[in-house]
Amino acid sequence: MHRTLSFALAAAAVAVAAIPRAPVAAAPDSVRWGPCRENAVPEQAAVAAEEPADLPRLECSTLEVPLDHRDPDGRRIEIAISRLASGKPSQRRGVLLTSPGGPGITGLGYPAVLAGSGLPQEVLDSYDVIGFDPRGVGRSTPVTCDLTPEQQARGNVPPYAHTAADVAREAGKARTVAEQCATSRTAWMLPHTTTANIARDMDRIRAALGEPELSYLGASYGSYLGAVYTTMFPERSDRIVLDSNLGPGGYDVTAMRLLARGLEDRFPDFAAFAAARPEYGLGTAPEQVRAKFFELAERLEAEPVRGFDATSFRGFTFDRLYSDADMPLVARTWQALDTDRPPPPAPPFPDMENFMSARFAVICGDTRWPSTVREYQRNVAVDRLKYPMLGGSTAGIGPCAFWPEERAEPPVRIGDRGPSNVLMAQNERDPGTPLTGALKLRRALGGRATMVTADQGGHGVYPFGPNTCAKDAVTAFLTTGQRPPQDLACAAEPGKQAEPGK
């Protein structure tokens, strides 16, 4: 479904951070909190917690918001929200709204995931950590495209196109999905299921909680959502952390094509890992491991093995290289496919139909995509050469090419107007949100932002990543308001990579 400010901008950033902020008392809110329904706290939180007692005390509620914020008295939809309340009310300074990204991913249990994954105690004491399912997703009013099991199995990235004819063949399937979305029982939601409206819902959450401002921690697509929110509501933005950053255009056609660049940026980390461990049999030099990728893809293109075809092989490799900890799993899976043995089992993705439908709704509704098959054929021809591992797929044609023309509003233009209260965190070799896109967002935000980059691969810096320099910078900002005086490059921290067999 990766630098330095001028002295004037750096001084402005320090000055803003130094202004004392009066503590915000826990205001009575209009939200009635209660126990979360079963399965609201995802399995990742339980895995991350060291003991069952470590699982946080998450509360849930729902909030009604306008379907169309331009018509506040019109049709309403529900937004599911959650809270991990500060255990120290005297230290609480407000709310920290969170987003794990997506679009299409549930965020209701994300506060529990963050707490179970090492969100520092001083952050948990400073904020009520708030999660939510965005409109269209999960326990909020959901959207559907009535995707068949076969359509769900194909995923949301087109198969690798080797020729112009491959693109033309895929166009028919993409058009079918777009038509299903436009005629489904939730088609009435499509014009309003956009990042701008999710940002407006966030501001409704802030108001319902009785808070004059909100702080924010969002990763991946959540970086764009946070950038849109603080652009639309600068005066209501407190401390804004954008992690693993999309470019200023969000999840547009450029971002989709950049996924292929992301895999090329990231793959050398895995190639070095596998080459140093000859027990996997993937090669003893990084270039041999890279050659093995293309060999396996070609073999699986001709004949799938153990449930893997070339598309799922490429997708699995890309997805699992989001984390250093998954490198052994990638290597064992390649080894199994290479020797025709059963690969390690993979857990199923929960509610793939809603995830894909909500994802299409947002990315196709936010911006206009190329609308002719010929444009995608040209893009594939370029990216297949530039980024041969994945470019023939991520440049391919999808449902957004055939999305309804009507748009309720243009995309939000990210700019530098507003307070200097944004901290960006970014790994240099991020496959999902490559550094090149993050740098464009950094330039767009100008004096509003400071950026911390980590000499590290993988997707996600805070609190999941291993780079303590970058994580400490985010913790300091969230708890004290202090950012680095200028953009900061954090050096690699050796010895913090996955061990074989784990």
**Could you give the residue numbers annotated as active site?**
220, 430, 459
Given the structure tokens 């803003």, which residue do they identify? 16
Q: How distant, in Å, are the alpha carbons of 33, 99, 233, 237, 387 from that of 215? A: 20, 12, 12, 6, 37
Inter-axis angle of helices 164-183 and 373-386, to 10 degrees? 120
Inter-axis angle of helices 253-275 and 286-302, to 10 degrees? 120
Q: How distant, in Å, are the alpha carbons of 12, 84, 237, 485 from that of 6? A: 10, 39, 24, 10
The type of residue at 293 is: F
Q: Are 383 and 375 within 8 A, CB to CB? A: no
CB-based contacts of 295, cutoff 8 Å, min separation 6: none
Q: Is 24 exposed, middle or buried (0-12, 13-18, 19+ CB in 10 A)?
A: middle
The alpha carbon dihedral of 396, 398, 404, 407 has a sign of negative
DSSP output for 382-398: HHHHHSTTTHHHHTS--
CB-based contacts of 210, cutoff 8 Å, min separation 6: 27, 28, 29, 30
